[in-house]
Amino acid sequence: MLKRIVTAALGAALFLHAPANAADSGYFRGKTVTYIVATGPGGGYDSYGRLIARYMQKHLAGSRFVVRNVPGAGHIVGANTIYASRPDGLTIGMFNTGLIYDQLLKRDGVLFDLNKFSWIGKAANDTRALVLSNTAFKNTDDFLKARGPIKFAASGVGSAAYNDTRILADALHLNIQIVPGFTGNEGEMSMLRREVVAEVGTAESMEDFVKQGHGFFALAISGDPTALPGVPRASQYVKDEHGKRLLALINALSEIGRLTAGPPGIPVNVLNEERQAYDAVMKDPEFLAEAKKFDLDIHPMSGPQVLAAIKAALNQPPETVKELKAAASG
């Protein structure tokens, strides 16, 4: 419900801000920019996307932004749509960093190369975490000692959450059974019905479930020591190099969340103007106040920094890709 309220509030206010002059070559004056969000309406990505689009409109003088939801295939459809758009800077958008898995695994349907997107910036971290139902386990150690198979909820086969779950299980040598096909908060509802007892996802998406007392964060799958303070790190339970390499890949994805990008080939001057506007958004006191109001965490990174992080995440040795394929396939 909170996500729907946030989305409605952000959407209703999309055109309320007058343009400012953070970036003004005159190129965007009188033009409409389509901001694609690779999920359906509601939820974290839509909330971030609508807020960012509204303030991009403010900082790209004379522009008008509209948000278009293009869900499907675990963000692949939305990312394909952005990638195939005309490289004029008038179509940009947001998708999940889990697409790094899809490119490394060469999944069917991937028509993009993440190395070639025109990267504009990122707004937040996507810290991954393991949540356990408190009706099934008292603490993390009880979970790790369980014989299994332990039932996990996950979104569709091949999704970022599905891959994260497989990788964690492989790295920690867990005996699990994944029940796929859950979307939104359906996994949490399944835990309440005691059909499953665990779920791996972004900490932000599962925070309400934990705050309501239905479960607890058992492991933080992130190298950032400030993420989920007091929660055990998954890395402390991994003893072999195989598991360490897999967790390092999840850590890399966790640090580049809520991305904004355009298609390849946007002219340098246009891309730089969008990057300047995006950087101005991330420092805008009004933007930061609204993000805090809606409980949207902001940890920004510039376009060139995102590009470097993406290239590093995709530059995996053959043994890691082989291990990823084995983990993802179960």
Q: Rounded to the nearest 5°, which phi and psi values hold at 68?
A: -125, 120
Q: Give the Cα-Cα-Cα angle 146, 151, 156 (nearest 5 degrees).
A: 145
pLDDT at position 329 is 77
List, in order, residues 6 or more apart from 222 with CB less than 8 Å away: 125, 127, 128, 129, 228, 233, 250, 251, 254, 255
In the numeric block, the tokens 């939801």 are attached to 69
Give the percent of the chain with pLDDT over 90: 68
Tokens of 33: 């920019």
pLDDT in tens, 152-195: 999 888 788 888 999 999 999 999 999 998 887 899 999 999 99
Closest CA to 123 of 19, 230, 259, 25: 259
pLDDT at position 8 is 47
Q: What is the pTM of this model?
A: 0.82
pLDDT at position 148 is 80
Whether pLDDT at 91 is above 60: yes
pLDDT in tens, 18-77: 344 445 789 999 999 999 999 999 888 999 999 999 999 999 999 999 999 999 988 999
Per-domain residue ranges of the chain: 2-125+255-314, 128-253
Whether pLDDT at 266 is above 80: yes
pLDDT in tens, 103-133: 999 999 999 999 999 999 999 988 899 999 9
**CA contacts within 13 A on the Cβ side of 201:** 25
- 2-125+255-314 and 128-253 in the same fold: yes
* CA atoms of 10 and 17, how far apart (whole Å): 12
Tell me the CATH number of domain 128-253, given options 3.90.1150.10, 3.40.190.10, 3.30.56.10, 1.10.3760.10: 3.40.190.10
Given a contact cutoff of 8 angstroms between Cβ atoms, the answer to whether 60 and 20 are in contact is no
Q: How confident is residue 13, by pLDDT bands cut at 50, 70 and 90?
A: very low
In the numeric block, the tokens 């705050």 are attached to 211
User: Per the CATH hierarchy, to which homologous superfamily does domain 2-125+255-314 belong?
Assistant: Bordetella uptake gene, domain 1 (3.40.190.150)
Whether pLDDT at 10 is above 70: no
* CA atoms of 60 and 35, how far apart (whole Å): 13
pLDDT at position 324 is 86
pLDDT in tens, 184-237: 789 999 999 999 999 999 888 899 999 999 999 999 987 777 889 999 999 999
Given a contact cutoff of 8 angstroms between Cβ atoms, the answer to whether 117 and 145 are in contact is no
Q: How confident is residue 146, by pLDDT bands cut at 50, 70 and 90?
A: very high
Average pLDDT over residues 297-303: 95
Strand 215-221 with 128-133, pairing: antiparallel
* CA atoms of 273 and 134, how far apart (whole Å): 49
In the numeric block, the tokens 């990122």 are attached to 122
Round to the nearest angstrom and report the end-to-end CA distance of the chain: 34
Identity (one letter) of the amino acid at 152? F
Q: Rounded mean pLDDT of the chain?
A: 89
* CA atoms of 173 and 312, how far apart (whole Å): 26
Given a contact cutoff of 8 angstroms between Cβ atoms, the answer to whether 120 and 261 are in contact is yes
Burial status of residue 315 (CB atoms within 10 A of its CB: 0-12, 13-18, 19 or more):
exposed
Given a contact cutoff of 8 angstroms between Cβ atoms, the answer to whether 39 and 69 are in contact is yes
Tokens of 233: 């790190």
Element spanning 102, H or E: helix 99-105
Q: Could you tell me which residues are beta bridge partners of residue 122?
A: 259, 301
